[in-house]
């Protein structure tokens, strides 16, 4: 092994002693980026209301190209979701690299999930006229309540055509992030204080992982095409990676072994063919996460 000092290695003390930045407490460098990108008031709204709408995140020509790409890839999904979703999008067309490296997106992600945040999901949804509404939820569904003070998960919806209630836009409950918990069954039904997000194409609607949101049924002609971009904090990724222990190794071993290797929950279960995570695993995963 080389005796060269590792340039990334911190001193033993500093490795453990770095202070924790509090939510929305930005480093000088990040504050300068936020200023340069004109993101200040959108971050204020994220902090105070739990959501924001960022306009003109790219040109309309870029959004149109993104829309076409999403529609094309949704045709590669197999089964019932064909034409309605496309998942695992990074690497399937270079346009998604431009999306996740968009400077405004990267700055928002660092504020909301810290440095080292991970791309958790990059998936498109296509909702035609008649698409039903998505029930109210907080995206931190695999985080037990009360939610930590630090946001865990950050979702951005890239609108590729205008958003309004009739067009089936995202629904949010402003300030619901302050509850720091999942909505109750009654709140899911009553949706107290829900509003429709409204914006032109090429905007990003985004929210804190604690914010209660869903969407409205689509009542208009055409299709709502949205790219859902979710990042998470790096915190709970495992120290060791056991992906090399395959099906053959697991053969005949108890279920507890599959569970501790994450093979029985929905995380990591997305396939291109299915166009989503394995929905059969979701209820149990969300339940486990809340125990
Ligand atoms: O489709 C929408 O408008 C919201 C979807 C949603 O809940 C999400 O992306 O987390
Ligand atoms: Fe959501």
Task: Return the pLDDT at 236.
Answer: 87
* Other beta carbons within 10 Å of 212: 28
Task: Return the pLDDT at 8.
Answer: 62
Half-sphere exposure of residue 210, counting CA atoms within 13 Å on the CB side? 24
Task: Return the pLDDT at 116.
Answer: 96
pLDDT at 14 over 60: yes
* Any atom of ligand 1 within 6 Å of the Cβ of 202: no
**Residue 244, SS3 per DSSP:** coil
Find how far residue 270's CA is from the centre of its chain. 14
- Convert the pLDDT of each residue in 105-156 to its tens digit: 999 999 999 999 999 999 999 999 999 999 999 999 999 999 999 999 999 9
User: Predicted confidence band at 5 (pLDDT cuts at 50, 70, 90)?
Assistant: low
pLDDT at 173 over 90: yes
Radius of gyration of the chain (CA): 20
Distance in Å from the first CA to the final CA of the chain: 44
- Convert the pLDDT of each residue in 76-93 to its tens digit: 999 999 999 999 999 999
pTM to 2 decimals?
0.94
All domains in the chain, ordered by first residue: 23-234 (2.60.120.620), 246-291 (no CATH)
Residues 6+ apart with CB under 8 A from 85: 74, 77, 123, 124, 125, 126, 275, 276
Among protein residues, the one with the nearest Cα to ligand 1's atom 3 is: 170
Q: Locate the ligand 1 atom nearest the alpha carbon of residue 137 and give its number.
A: 7
* Any atom of ligand 1 within 6 Å of the Cβ of 215: yes
On average, the pLDDT of the chain sits at 95
Among protein residues, the one with the nearest Cα to ligand 1's atom 5 is: 214
pLDDT at 10 over 70: no
Q: Cα(35)–Cα(41) distance, rounded to whole angstroms? A: 10
Query: What length is written for the chain?
Result: 291
Stretch 220-244: mean pLDDT, rounded?
96
Stretch 242-268: mean pLDDT, rounded?
96
Task: Return the pLDDT at 207.
Answer: 98
Ligand 1 centroid from CA 291, angstroms:
25
Who has greater pLDDT, 2 or 45?
45
Task: Return the pLDDT at 17.
Answer: 74
- Convert the pLDDT of each residue in 156-170 to its tens digit: 999 999 999 999 999
* Any atom of ligand 1 within 6 Å of the Cβ of 139: yes
pLDDT at 261 over 60: yes
The secondary structure of 52-98 as a DSSP string is EEE--SS-HHHHHHHHHHHHHHHTT--GGGTTTEE---TTTSTHHHH
Prior bond to 72 cis, omega within 30?
A: no
* Other beta carbons within 10 Å of 118: 14
Task: Return the pLDDT at 234.
Answer: 95
Task: Return the pLDDT at 11.
Answer: 73
Among protein residues, the one with the nearest Cα to ligand 1's atom 9 is: 228
Task: Return the pLDDT at 16.
Answer: 79
Stretch 193-212: mean pLDDT, rounded?
97
User: Predicted confidence band at 13 (pLDDT cuts at 50, 70, 90)?
Assistant: confident
* Helices 28-36 and 103-113: angle between axes, nearest 10 degrees: 140
Ligand 2 centroid from CA 213, angstroms:
6
Protein residues within 5 Å, CB atom, of ion ligand 2: 139
User: Predicted confidence band at 286 (pLDDT cuts at 50, 70, 90)?
Assistant: very high
């Amino acid at each position: 092994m080389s005796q060269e000092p590792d340039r990334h290695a911190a001193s033993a003390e500093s490795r453990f002693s770095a202070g924790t930045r509090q939510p929305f407490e930005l480093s000088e460098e990040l504050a300068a980026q936020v200023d340069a990108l004109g993101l200040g008031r959108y971050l204020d709204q994220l902090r105070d209301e739990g959501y924001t709408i960022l306009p003109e995140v790219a040109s309309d020509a870029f959004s149109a190209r993104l829309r076409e790409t999403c529609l094309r890839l949704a045709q590669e999904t197999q089964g019932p979701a064909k034409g309605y979703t496309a998942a695992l999008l990074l690497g399937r067309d270079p346009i998604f690299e431009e999306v996740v490296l968009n400077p405004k997106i990267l700055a928002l992600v660092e504020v909301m999930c810290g440095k080292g945040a991970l791309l958790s999901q990059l998936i498109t949804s296509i909702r035609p006229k008649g698409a039903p509404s998505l029930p109210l939820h907080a995206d931190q569904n695999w985080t037990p309540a009360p939610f930590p003070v630090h946001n865990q998960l950050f979702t951005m919806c890239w609108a590729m055509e205008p958003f309004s209630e009739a067009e089936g836009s995202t629904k949010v409950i402003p300030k619901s992030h302050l509850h720091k918990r999942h909505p109750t069954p009654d709140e899911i039904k009553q949706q107290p204080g829900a509003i429709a997000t409204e914006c032109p194409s090429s905007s990003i609607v985004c929210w804190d992982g604690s914010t209660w949101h869903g969407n409205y049924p689509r009542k208009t002609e055409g299709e709502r095409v949205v790219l859902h971009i979710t990042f998470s904090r790096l915190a709970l990724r495992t120290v060791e990676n056991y992906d090399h222990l395959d099906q053959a190794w697991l053969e005949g071993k108890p279920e507890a072994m599959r569970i501790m290797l994450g093979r029985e929950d929905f995380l990591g279960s997305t396939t291109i063919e299915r166009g989503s995570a394995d929905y059969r695993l979701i209820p149990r995963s969300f339940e486990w996460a809340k125990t």
